[in-house]
């Protein structure tokens, strides 16, 4: 059985991705940090469909917790992780000059260094196994930049640089590293938008709708699979045509 570890799988895109990989026969390590109830509910849903999954609490910004998480997953599945999906992130809204240092350092600790922590742990198994796939979730704002989301945009641009460099470094070990840069997806992260803000964003999306978490999970499943073995270092942006 192939195994996947998905960070931030308690809600939104990560949750949908966990369900899809479980339905597709993967053993799923569900990482969560604070949303214990929805993580438990996800585990129950996966067990109900006969899937194989384990819940692991860890703050991805803490390297010791991440090391324990990978050890727990290894113990549960009896093998290392074949696919890592670095999905956990937080957003920060506000004028660049209004956001405090403690807030933007926390954002980078999660959105970028969380990925470093997880990739480092995952690679120790993948390199010895000469195979593996790492999928990093960025954002269209990491490509274009967003006003009032300067720190978030910068962290997501860094995810793209991280993806491209790591892809080159680990390709000789048979490991692919790719990036998904979603457009506007209907999850808790975009739930704060006012009706007016939603209309303004919709006007910019040629396909005329926000994406669903399933628009991202289906791409992650493809990138993790055997049909994507020749794809590495790429940034793919499911965004309804918002950025072309
Ligand atoms: P979401 O609904 O807010 O969910 C975020 C997830 O990240 C939660 O499961 C949360 O877990 C987890 N998380 C946050 N901090 C964590 C930490 N320190 N350690 C471990 N997990 C942590 O967000 P989403 O919309 O699904 O976003 C998923 C990814 O897509 C993110 O990388 C986001 O930047 C990206 N993205 C989203 C959109 C969008 O429009 N929604 C667009 C572009 C990119 P807990 O609740 O358990 O703490």
Please name the residue that has the structure tokens 């113990």.
Answer: 75
33 pocket-lining for ligand 1 (C-beta < 6 Å): yes
Establish whether 26 is a catalytic residue. no
In this prediction, residue 201 carries a pLDDT of: 96
Which one, of 135, 125, 121, lies nearest residue 167 by Cα?
135
For residues 235-242, give the mean pLDDT: 98
Q: How confident is the model at residue 151 (pLDDT cuts 50, 70, 90)?
A: very high
pLDDT tens for residues 177-196? 999 999 999 999 999 999 99
Ligand 1 centre to CA of 89 (Å) is: 4
Mean pLDDT of the 90-96 span: 97
Could you report the per-residue pLDDT of 25-60, keeping only the tens digit for each?
999 999 999 999 999 999 999 999 999 999 999 999
pLDDT of residue 241: 98
What average pLDDT does the segment 73-86 reach? 98
Which domains, from first to last, does the chain contain?
3-183+213-236 (3.40.50.720)
Q: Which atom of ligand 1 is nearest to the CA of 11?
A: 9
pLDDT band at 157 (very low <50, low <70, confident <90, very high): very high
Pocket-testing residue among 18, 114, 138, 189, ligand 1, by greatest number of atoms within 8 A of Cβ:
189
What's the pLDDT at 42? 98
CA–CA distance, 189 with 134 (Å, rounded to integer): 23
Distance CA 160, CA 136 (A): 8
Position 89 scores a pLDDT of 98
CA distance 180 to 223: 9
Average of per-residue pLDDT across 145-151: 97
> How many Å apart are CA 135 and CA 122, to the nearest integer?
12
Q: Tokens representing 144?
A: 């274009």
pLDDT band (50, 70, 90) for residue 221: very high
Can you give the pLDDT at residue 79? 97
pLDDT at res. 144: 98
Q: Which atom of ligand 1 is nearest to the CA of 10?
A: 9
pTM of the model as a whole: 0.99
Angle (CA) 149-150-156 rounded to 5° is: 90
Distance 152 CA to ligand 1 centre (A): 12
Q: Which residue has the tokens 């910004």?
A: 61
CB 111, CB 137: distance < 8 Å: no
State which ligand 1 atom lies nearest to the alpha carbon of 109: 18
């Amino acid at each position: 059985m192939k195994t996947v570890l998905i960070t931030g799988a308690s809600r939104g895109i990560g949750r949908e991705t966990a369900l899809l990989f479980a339905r597709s026969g993967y053993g799923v390590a569900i990482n969560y940090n604070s949303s214990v109830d929805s993580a438990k509910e996800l585990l129950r849903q996966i067990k109900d469909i006969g899937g194989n999954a384990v819940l692991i609490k860890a703050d991805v910004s803490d390297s010791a917790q991440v090391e324990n998480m990978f050890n727990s997953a290894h113990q549960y599945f009896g093998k290392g992780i074949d696919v890592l999906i670095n999905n956990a992130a937080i957003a920060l809204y506000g004028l660049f000059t209004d956001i405090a240092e403690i807030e933007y350092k926390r954002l980078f600790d999660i959105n970028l260094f969380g990925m470093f922590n997880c990739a480092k742990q995952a690679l120790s198994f993948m390199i010895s196994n000469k195979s593996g796939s790492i999928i990093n979730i960025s954002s269209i704002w990491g490509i274009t930049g967003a006003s009032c989301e300067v720190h978030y945009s910068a962290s997501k641009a860094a995810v793209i640089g991280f993806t491209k460099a790591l892809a080159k470094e680990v390709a000789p070990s048979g490991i692919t590293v790719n990036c998904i840069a979603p457009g506007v997806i209907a999850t808790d992260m975009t739930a704060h938008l006012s009706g007016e803000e939603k209309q303004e964003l919709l006007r910019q999306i040629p396909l005329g709708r926000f994406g669903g978490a399933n628009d991202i999970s289906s791409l992650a499943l493809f990138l993790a699979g055997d049909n994507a073995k020749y794809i590495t270092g790429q940034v793919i942006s499911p965004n309804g045509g918002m950025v072309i």
